[in-house]
Structure 1
């Protein structure tokens, strides 16, 4: 039987590739990395919410049964993380509710709790905040976990309102797939030259910019139009033309009725002239985002474990239980903990420390259970070097020059920015840039162009990028950072800009 769990800002995990650096809301201490703000202050509530939302995406153990077995007949491995997005009131929460109900992933007592005037309000299965239920909208990102006989899923219900675009970016940053909903009743569906809604275009552009591997368009509420066949044909043509102009690779375009359940879990053959698989059948076949093992090794240091004095260890703890790893695996040296962003690490590998530029050889690698071995991208590791170097939180361990894969550090970046602040982005403004776990001062040198989400035109004369806008800018950093284009690496090609005064999360940055 399918199982499901819900969560809103609970649980911890190794964060996803994009914004994986946002593990702790604590800004850097004073010293080499100056703290943004006064001593003892914390990063903005917006950034904390961003981090909390990222931490919701738990590992697959959340979907295991009490006996530790997932019970799937055709288990494909890792859970598929996907989000629903699109314009406001397009039926995103209702679609997720329908997926949960029709896949028998909702208990009867919980289903009875979302009754309104004798009818089941499927949207309430994901809208958990009181403000969401009162207003009938989605504000925060709500996550749901469920499984079918063939696949495990983690669903992120992203808000459609323009003012909550930052929450949608958070959800999309770690997604394997995006389901973009289009409300047929809001469009001039009988017109072959119909225009899509701005927020539909914006969300489609954002998930494409964030390199979400699979993008599925679903045309919803076709049961509420006079001629669903014509509506589906015209809207599908508009989506296809827009995607081609924007460079978006479309996985599928599916006609659905989230309210009635048509083509959501089970197919509705022949409706709207569509005889393809249902949405759930498509999702069950989509691939997960592959780990960036083929990229050069890069490791952001999150925490430094200092060796304990033997006398203190002896006085506090007994001998480790039989079969357990010894606490002295580092042989008195410091252990640098974090998550391997790209590549892999093994003993004997030469590494270079950024920003100091010093080099060392990896003496030992510990996995999350403190067992020695080698660790690939996407997994936590503890690294012990063959000699003591000045390495602290925020530094990077990179592939050494002898590997032929050394990453070059730079202070000048050409980036695409999704602007999330209430204040517009203007040239000359300084921000804190968060890359890995490292804070660096950044200044916007110039705006190359601003993208019009309606026409896809690039305005090279733009003097600012407005809230929820998308643009292409040049950044100058106070210290060099090692990056790769975001198209090659979500981990190395992403940064977050934070306002130096208010500590608000201002923008998501993708390196070109």
Structure 2
């Protein structure tokens, strides 16, 4: 897994971009749905589109199931990213794997998404019972603060039965209530034929929106530009006598004349110039790669954060941690924590409880975590880290843990509480 897990902002600098992921159980039709979205939105190459027709769902799925191992096994084991756009918005799709052992890949997809589209095979739902992985993926998406939308797939195989659709809708409504989330929109679709995906059709009783319309109407991505400034410093550059500090604006906006503070020492500084692409600009917003010059001399290094004056730092915090390593996490062992460009040693002081994704209960305190476990932990760090909560600041409220010997990515975490 790439070391950048949970380290990227969900937003680009574009006016209206929606990042969503598809998730659900194996064979429910996630990859076919994405293929249909790409085909019907007109973004495929001419030869790709010519090779696909309505009776070839395998061809649609192969647009995202690109790995040899995936095609051989008929499953998705990695996160496939695809892009398409409509007149209303642009979309970045992450196709998350369905198998439980690849839950860590789903966490990666969720960390870069605003919305989760949970795909459910309507033919496989009996007496309101949802598949375990459907429940698991919905729980993880809810835990990470995503909007949830349900695509009730393969309705064509049931003759577009409204009764079966309402059965699935009720079952997921019960699941949403147990997850303590609000109302969830369900849309009856056929990824194979394309009905109600991009274009309406097939179900005479359905008066609701298509799936793409529902996604477009979902909660607008967080207005990162309106939030407090955060620029993790990636590099210190020198031009003759002048020092510049390069980084990405994770949130907020920066302008010449702004009063900021730098790093946990909270050095006060005044922004002299802001450059994007080598040119001075009057302002740079969230998503922009910038170089900053300050008035006067300042002691700034990679790992420091240029921030607004209200920033706080802590050495102890509670986080939800998804364990990504086959070697178990052992309480009391030291790891390397990376938050943005900051790197420091971290100690797992306590495993408060493990989230039981099957029934959404909380287990008793544990001494170790296994692969794909998600737990609430208490972490102490050698150096101060940003006290941004994940619910407020996705880009800086997240972190990753690494094994200090192998540099293997061990865990992806979200800060939920800080301690003085």
Q: TM-score, normalised by structure 1?
A: 0.74
1:135 aligns with 2:39: no
- C-alpha separation in 2, matches of 1:292 and 1:226: 44
Alignment-derived partner of residue 244 in structure 2: 335
Residues 1:260 and 1:81: Cα distance change in structure 2 (over 3 Å): same
Alignment-derived partner of residue 278 in structure 1: 210
Alignment-derived partner of residue 178 in structure 2: 245
Alignment-derived partner of residue 462 in structure 1: 366
Which of 202, 205, 223 does residue 291 from structure 1 map onto?
223
- C-alpha separation in 2, matches of 1:56 and 1:134: 32
Alignment-derived partner of residue 432 in structure 1: 336
After superposition, give the CA deviation of every residue in 1:215-273 in whole Å (9 maximum; x if it has no partner).
Answer: 211121233348833322222112111112212334411122212222212223645x5
SS in 1 for 2:81: strand
Q: TM-score, normalised by structure 2?
A: 0.90
* Poorly superposed stretches of 4+, deviation over 4 Å: 48-51, 53-60, 112-120
Deviation at 1:57, TM superposition (A): 9.4
Deviation at 1:457, TM superposition (A): 0.8
SS in 2 for 1:293: helix
After superposition, give the CA deviation of every residue in 1:155-202 in whole Å (9 maximum; x if it has no partner).
Answer: 2222112222222222222223221111223332xx1xx332222222
Q: Is the 8 A contact 2:5 2:111 kept in 1?
A: no
Alignment-derived partner of residue 141 in structure 2: 207
Q: Is the 8 A contact 2:10 2:19 kept in 1?
A: no
- C-alpha separation in 1, matches of 2:10 and 2:170: 36
Q: Which protein has the larger Cα radius of gyration, Structure 1 or Structure 2?
A: 1
* Larger strand proportion of the pair: 2
Which of 278, 281, 289 does residue 380 from structure 1 map onto?
289
Greater shift, 352-361 or 202-211, is seen at 352-361
Task: Output aligned runs, 1:189-208, within 5 Å.
Answer: 191=127, 194-208=128-142
Alignment-derived partner of residue 116 in structure 2: 178
SS in 1 for 2:192: coil
Alignment-derived partner of residue 92 in structure 2: 154
Q: CA RMSD in A?
A: 2.8
Aligned residues: 416
Deviation at 1:439, TM superposition (A): 0.7
Deviation at 1:291, TM superposition (A): 3.3
Deviation at 1:364, TM superposition (A): 2.3
Which of 453, 458, 461 does residue 357 from structure 2 map onto?
453
- C-alpha separation in 1, matches of 2:91 and 2:270: 40
- C-alpha separation in 2, matches of 1:218 and 1:498: 36
- The gaps in structure 1 that reach 5 residues or longer are 1-45, 61-76, 309-331, 401-405
Alignment-derived partner of residue 196 in structure 2: 263
SS in 2 for 1:99: helix
Residues 1:93 and 1:333: Cα distance change in structure 2 (over 3 Å): same
- C-alpha separation in 1, matches of 2:287 and 2:173: 34
Q: Is the 8 A contact 2:57 2:192 kept in 1?
A: no
